[in-house]
Amino acid sequence: MIAKTCEPHTVDRQQPYALDLRERTFKISHLQILDEHGNLDAEREPDLSTEDLISLYRAMVLARAVDQRLLKLQRQGRIGTLPLCTGQEAASCGPVLAMTDKDWFVGSYRELGGRLMRGEPIENGFLLYNGYEEGSVFPGGERTLPVSIIIGAQTLHAVGIAYAMKIRGETDSAVVCFLGDGATSEGDVHEALNFASVWQVPVVFVCANNHWAISLPREKQTHSRTLAQKAIAYDIPGIQVDGNDALAMYQVTKDALDRARAGGGPTFVEAVTYRLMMHTTSDDPSRYQPPEQLQAWEARDPLSRFKSYLEAKGIWNDERQADLDAEIKQQIEDAVKAFEARKDFKPDAPFDHVFGTKVPRIEEQRAEFLDELRKESTDA
Amino acid sequence: MRKMNMVQAINLALDQEMANDDRVVALGQDIGVNGGVFRVTEGLFEKYGEARVIDTPLAESGILGTSIGMAIAGLRPVAEMQFSGFSYLMFGQLEGHAARLRSRTQGAITVPLVVRMPYGGGVRALEHHSESHEATYGHVPGVKVVIPSTPSNARALLVSAIRDPDPVIFMEPKRSYRAFREEVSEEEQVMEIGKAQIVQEGTDLTVVSWGAVMRPTLQAVEEVRDQRGISIELIDLLTISPMDGDTISASVEKTGRCVVVQEAPRSFSPSSEIIATINDKALMYLEAPVRRVTGYDVATPYFGRESAYIPTNGRIRQAIEETIDF
């Protein structure tokens, strides 16, 4: 379904010599299925069951509620610093609906909704952002990589995984890799796009353009008019999508995955969205963010438009919403309780995971660490 | 048994591991059709094909970053950095991910990979082609750093590195690539990573070295032994990190004297760690201060001046004799 709408500019020897870029030679296509008011482009409506639509909506509502609960816990001093995902739910939940268990999820740190859909327990976020690596893994999560904090580095891992899928002939497996607008300035991302293109591996890059990299606005991150066009230089299809439209995010990912699995190579998706909250709990956007911009984007919320869509289809109403809110509230409360009841954090766990084999030098240091810990607690 | 140089021995290790285990892939710049700029991967492209012997684009971070992904997905990548002086462009991927994914995921995700890189001076090469910066990598927890010194230990250690469950930086002393030949068994051979090797036993003095300077060190040791009748224990460190402190401290307990010879700059280096280890474990056995012969804390000189920078036979002898006479 994704055509190469942006054909690479091939050399045309008849073109008069000029260094003027005003004569643009490429176009970027754009996909929106559900607009900010919930109006549907019926021709492009994906063929999704009621069950799938509701599970997608549920995932976004859950992600929003967990995000807000994380923020509250942080403000109460019950957990540490964390990045917020509110406003970007559609940009990770839509793609994950298009993925299977055999596909790989290679994320950054603003894809809470997508991670929950991949089966990550709610408790994991509480654990991770309270400083425990236990929150980075979960049973069945072998193909869901942990949060990657260094900007853009994960894109190369995604390409390596995709290479492995290709040479092993795992044609039913592809990789979806998430990154942000700031990452497009990182060398690793350009290397990843280049390697992906040279190797023609099955990877879909989903670049959430949330307009801000902490305090740096999108227009100071890059002079390019779109992020999608960066793919053109690598001869990778680059497309811009309404990142707050879960249907469009689902559809574009599905099409790109189909293409990838069929041997069509990589795709780059610019998901235009907005960070409705601070970068992390340590950040104060009022120092740099124009309030009118925030208000404009609050009106384009991914959840409210999806709810209107479900209501218009006659599969959602206030009563169902109330039930869902109550169910999610309980689910989160249970996770908080489970998290706060956990006491099994072995202090010397870091010594267990330096290497896969026991190393005398590390074991000596472990013994010293435990001995000092014991002495300290005896002194106290 | 066949006489071979270090290039041939490393090639043998790669060839045998690729034949044994189809998860093993090699990747790097010019390693395929061209067989590598030092010809270390010669013939592998023809034998195993372009999917397993991968000529990559020219991007060091890209090479390691994609190797990490391959390792996560179950392959066993052996990446080549064309020269160690170019390897700093991949440092972010090493420190941020290769070294930490095991601890980040408490063992759920591991990154078994090898990064081979020729290092060290003495080949009259361009700038950035002569450094000995093993300490840079030795300082990263979760990474092993191995430096062979002969064709046979290069071959055995590389096989072990490929089979190791963790990332291994395998630094090849390029001055030793074709400097000499020795008998290398065609039969499978491994050597434990993390173990130093006592090359010669002795009772009066311990000398620790590794890599290309093992050769002038060995020569100096033999000369002092022959001329002065002194019994010297010579240790080849082989693994920079995690360092085998026990072999060194046991030797120093026996001899009471120690000289460390390294090509690397002096400060914050393996010799610093060796001396700290002796301080921790064998200080009371010392009869003389531990002496070291090293490169200096200056940018590795361009080759016009490098012969005075790299430890020479004369400098090593002098340090040994002064330590004996202390």
* Closest residue to A156, CB basis, from B93, B109, B244: B93
Active-site residue identified among B97, B129, B133, B139: B129
Comparing CA positions, the residue from A241, A204, A20, A223 lying closest to residue A105 is: A204
Same domain, B154 and B32: yes
- Report how far residue A155's alpha carbon sits from residue B62's, in angstroms, rounded to the nearest whole number: 10
Same domain, B83 and B126: yes
Same domain, B11 and B130: yes
* CATH label of the domain that carries residue B246: 3.40.50.920
What does pLDDT average to over chain B?
A: 97
Asked if this assembly's ipTM is beyond 0.85, the reply is yes
A356 Cα to chain B: minimum distance (Å): 6
Same domain, B235 and B273: yes
Average pLDDT of the segment spanning B157-176:
98
* Number of independent structural domains in chain B: 2
Question: B71 contacts in A (CB within 8 Å)?
Answer: 160
Q: Select the residue from A163, A173, A199 to test the B interface by mutation, using most B Cβ atoms within 10 A.
A: A163
Task: Report yes or no: A347 at the B interface, CB cutoff 8 Å.
Answer: no
* Closest residue to A136, CB basis, from B105, B194, B243: B105
Same domain, B76 and B117: yes
What is the chain A residue with the closest CA to B72?
Answer: A161
Q: Answer yes or no: is B192 within a domain.
A: no
DSSP secondary-structure letter at A328? H
pLDDT digits (tens, 9 = 90+) for A136-187: 999 999 999 999 999 999 999 999 999 999 999 999 999 999 999 999 999 9
- Report how far residue A170's alpha carbon sits from residue A151's, in angstroms, rounded to the nearest whole number: 28
Comparing CA positions, the residue from A103, A129, A143 lying closest to residue A261 is: A103
Q: Which two tokens stand for residue A349?
A: 């766990």
Task: Report yes or no: A354 at the B interface, CB cutoff 8 Å.
Answer: yes
B310 Cα to chain A: minimum distance (Å): 30
B182 Cα to chain A: minimum distance (Å): 31
Question: Per-residue confidence at A4, pLDDT binned at 50, 70, 90?
Answer: very low
Q: Answer yes or no: is B136 within a domain.
A: yes
Question: A193 contacts in B (CB within 8 Å)?
Answer: none
Q: Determine if the peptide bond prior to B242 is cis (ω within 30°).
A: yes
- The residue assigned the tokens 């929003």 is A64
Same domain, B234 and B139: no
Of the residues B184, B209, B229, which one is the last residue of a structural domain? B184
- Report how far residue B38's alpha carbon sits from residue B90's, in angstroms, rounded to the nearest whole number: 21
Question: B270 contacts in A (CB within 8 Å)?
Answer: none
Distances in whole angstroms, Cα of residue B316 to Cα of each of B219, B223, B259, B263, B313: 9, 11, 9, 11, 5
CB contact under 8 A, A165 and B51: no
Same domain, B163 and B261: no
Q: Which two tokens stand for residue A254?
A: 């599905």
Q: Answer yes or no: is B191 within a domain.
A: no
- Report how far residue B57's alpha carbon sits from residue A194's, in angstroms, rounded to the nearest whole number: 8
Same domain, B152 and B207: no
- Report how far residue B273's alpha carbon sits from residue A307's, in angstroms, rounded to the nearest whole number: 63
Q: Which two tokens stand for residue B74?
A: 């179950």
Domain residues for the domain of B206 are 197-325
**Maximum pairwise Cα distance, chain A:** 84
Same domain, B18 and B72: yes
What is the chain A residue with the closest CA to B56?
Answer: A195
Task: Report yes or no: B109 at the A interface, CB cutoff 8 Å.
Answer: yes
Same domain, B238 and B101: no
Q: What are phi and psi of B210, to 5 degrees?
A: -165, 160
Same domain, B151 and B63: yes
Sign, Cα dihedral of A238, A239, A240, A243: negative
Beta bridge partners of B261: B209, B293
Q: Answer yes or no: is B146 within a domain.
A: yes
Question: A148 contacts in B (CB within 8 Å)?
Answer: 97
pLDDT digits (tens, 9 = 90+) for B46-97: 999 999 999 999 999 999 999 999 999 999 999 999 999 999 999 999 999 9
Same domain, B250 and B204: yes
